[in-house]
Amino acid sequence: MRHRIAHVLSCEGDAATNPAGLYKASTLGLSTIRREPDIMKFNRIIVATAVVLACGSAQAQDRTGWPESFTVGTASQGGTYFAYGSGWANLVAEELGLSGGGEVTGGPMQNMALVHTGDASFGMTTMGPAAESLAGTNPIAPGLEMNNACAMFPMYQTPFSVTALSSSGIESIADIPAGAKIGFGPAGSTSDTYFPRIMEELGIEFERRNGGWSDLGGQLQDGLLDVIAFAAGVPVPAVSQLEVQTDVNIIEFTEEEQATILGAFPVSEFSIASDTYTTLEADARSVSMWNFAIANCELPESFVEAVVNVVMSDNERMMNIHKAARSTVPENWDKNDVLMWHPGAAKWFRENAGADIADDTVFGN
């Protein structure tokens, strides 16, 4: 009965004007007025009170200009972006009463383009591709400065790691044979943008292969690839799946290799925890880039502020979506040193995280 009452009541006045036991059943296709038993009356008062509070909150929230639906640009299936992005898109849609979801894309570079043009309301990117997109060197649209994509909230760090089948005998970067077939993920992804350059910097000769992470995992098992070079939040679903199906080596960088990469690329030191994968017996040395959720800069301030509030106000819910969300916390707002902030996001972090976001880093100022 409670479930049915919750659907009968609405923000149009039923609960607010008639909480004491009489209810009009016209929303059920009836026209009579019925008297509820005492226990039903009590349940109804409880539900009515909740609806009144919810309605009051909804009416107080400024939804001027809000879209009825939205999409979040993610990446290929089998990668962290897709799992993480689809998860928070569904969470936001549910909490704000909108239609929304994740969209399979080519990853950070394409997401910058989609959000810049407004073809996607939201997306996700890493700081490297974001900087290249702002500079007009995004390979999707060379020469176009994608400055209409704004920072929304910090996500997590993307570690760079290499995976090979144990049967291949490849246990280090130096073991990768000349001419090895390496899968770098979807074209235009963070991995595809930076890992080939990293391999070249480390003196590795290779044949480049692209594809979704799940597809590349299948090719590795079938012997069509020698290694996969992952740049994705950990645990990477495709790697976890490989561990279930076969024996793999998750290869770390040596200290010298890590130092070489740090000196040549916009990355930072990172360590993949040993409990991330069953294969690891100790923490694995790596490098990483920060990921940020992005919003079209023209979206209403109140809309983006509400989206940020849903994602950032309850980290436990985000952790249930993906373990990488352990870093999706307010204090990491300062990891953005590339993108202009969306005004709604800047407002939320200033008011809720004490963020010292300079006015000249906020879009429209």
Return the pLDDT at 275.
94
The label of the residue with tokens 């689809």 reads 86
- Give just the sign of the alpha carbon dihedral 291, 130, 208, 285: negative
Domains and CATH numbers, the chain: 2-60 (no CATH), 70-156+293-361 (3.40.190.10), 158-289 (3.40.190.10)
Positions in the chain short of pLDDT 50: 1-37, 39-59
Return the pLDDT at 60.
59
> Residue 162 burial (CB < 10 Å; 0-12/13-18/19+)?
buried
Number of neighbours of residue 362 by Cβ within 10 angstroms:
20
Q: What's the gap between Cα 151 and its chain centre?
A: 13
Give helix 255-264 / helix 190-201 axis angle, nearest 10°.
Answer: 120
Return d(Cα 155, Cα 333) in angstroms, integer. Answer: 9
Look at residue 126 and give its three-state secondary structure: strand
Beta bridge mates, 362: 341
Return the pLDDT at 130.
95
Return d(Cα 125, Cα 110) in angstroms, integer. Answer: 9
CA geometry: angle at 201 spanning 216 and 286, to 5°? Answer: 60
Return d(Cα 332, Cα 312) in angstroms, integer. Answer: 11
* 13 conformational bin, left if phi > 0, alpha if psi -120 to 50, beta if neither: left
Return the pLDDT at 101.
97
Return the pLDDT at 38.
53
Number of neighbours of residue 350 by Cβ within 10 angstroms:
15
Q: Cβ(252)–Cβ(277) under 8 Å?
A: no
Return the pLDDT at 196.
97
Return the pLDDT at 33.
33
> Residue 148 burial (CB < 10 Å; 0-12/13-18/19+)?
middle
Return the pLDDT at 40.
47
Return d(Cα 233, Cα 216) in angstroms, integer. Answer: 17
